[in-house]
A and B are shown apart, each in its own frame.
Chain A
Amino acid sequence: DAKTTQPPSMDCAEGRAANLPCNHSTISGNEYVYWYRQIHSQGPQYIIHGLKNNETNEMASLIITEDRKSSTLILPHATLRDTAVYYCIVRVVKWGYGGSQGNLIFGKGTKLSVKP
């Protein structure tokens, strides 16, 4: 699976949009971009994933560049509870018996601090 590069930390003011970048320049055509976050001492929480089209759900938006070499996770109105480590993960969905196979490999992520 392709490697990802994220800034180690970012700050964001409460109520403002948080834009978290991720570089994945070696991504291949069948690799998806996943975003998870981990609040201190909890298990990771799924945020969003996409292949090449921009995606939006109730938590965030995912913007993937046309060449798919980078993406941005957008939290439209950050709150203090969004303070967490955000992980961008690229992986192949391998189809096999029983559905997709494979695991998630975590990098170091971006520590987002939302400040009042």
Chain B
Amino acid sequence: GAVVSQHPSRVICKSGTSVKIECRSLDFQATTMFWYRQFPKQSLMLMATSNEGSKATYEQGVEKDKFLINHASLTLSTLTVTSAHPEDSSFYICSARQGSYGYTFGSGTRLTVV
């Protein structure tokens, strides 16, 4: 079946630094990937839609200059949290759409900013 690999699974960074999270579709091509954020005891919130070869589409309230998304190939999308602060600590999850209906999710990245 379709597999989406997300790396790293956990990262701790200092406040003010940047962190890059990778999302790869391992056995299929994904023209569109999605990035979600999940705070403790809350549901997933869609942050942005990543389109291969074009600019990402951000949801209302998500700062595009802070959360940089690059989707340079059909199998890789990256999310860079720039100038991270403790309030950016969260669980970040990517997903990719395969074929007509399927959405496969990565295993998530736990970001802790200290």
Contacts and interface: CB of A to CB of B under 8 A. Distances in A.
Interface of A: 32, 34, 36, 38, 41-46, 49, 87, 93, 98-101, 103-109
Chain B facing A: main interface SS: strand
Contact of B95 (A87, A93, A100, A104): A104
A90 B49 CA distance: 18
Contact of B44 (A34, A101, A106): A106
Residue among B6, B32, B49, B106 having the largest count of chain A Cβ atoms under 10 Å = B32
A43 B95 contact: yes
Interface of B: 4, 6, 31-32, 34, 36, 43-46, 49, 91, 93, 95, 97, 99-108, 110
Residue among A43, A98, A99 having the largest count of chain B Cβ atoms under 10 Å = A43
A46 B43 contact: no
Contact of B108 (A43, A46, A100, A107): A43
B97 A43 contact: no
A4 to B, nearest CB: 12
B98 to A, nearest CB: 9
B107 A42 contact: yes
A50 to B, nearest CB: 10
A93 B99 CA distance: 11
A32 B49 CA distance: 20
A43 B107 contact: yes
A24 to B, nearest CB: 16
A1 to B, nearest CB: 12
Given A101-B32, A106-B44, A107-B43, A46 B102 contact: yes
